Structure 1
């Protein structure tokens, strides 16, 4: 007997294809399961943060931006406002956003703030709230 006759037969192409598909399906199923667990975790985490009244980073960023822009208005600091605009737009473009779109969004917010637009009150945060002086 020759050495070639002792080797196991090679799987046919169709068998290898099925194996690869099975591996992809298994990987896909695992990924879907992991994504579902992550989504559930995120829902629970956000609910806990809301219940504890902890602001999101977007909440903090929006309040800080509003404060900074309105401070420029109060001080009539047009130069400061131009510098803020330039830097914010530059950084958004670095993140991959369209320059004209970033300029539009910034200018839109500044116009709204000039017109007196403020954040909407979040009624759910006022429920059961007590004054700090009550402690």
Structure 2
């Protein structure tokens, strides 16, 4: 009987420890991790933008790619700003909880849109090469 009482008491102590977990700290770490992933995608988009700008009008879908990559970068910057805002909220306060939920939902939708845009960008074939670009006007000419 004493063992059962000790087990029940231990269970209540563990429950108290679980409730003591700081949700604010968890949310902050989650936001930082999401921000890191956003930085990686932003870097990839910047590289794609550089490639498209180097190729220029020769790229079959130049204007479409330019618009899609630029839109993706702008939306990523918006998400970054929203991450900073949501990271500064204290979810232990009732008003901040409501704001955090709304901002989190907005971030979710914008990230979904960014993902769709980047799938479309990938579908239009950004090809990377370590070789220098060969302009069509230089094809057939002797190199010095």
TM-score range, shorter chain: 0.3 to 0.5
Query: TM-score, length-normalised on structure 2?
Result: 0.35
Query: TM-score, length-normalised on structure 1?
Result: 0.37
Bigger Rg, which one: 1
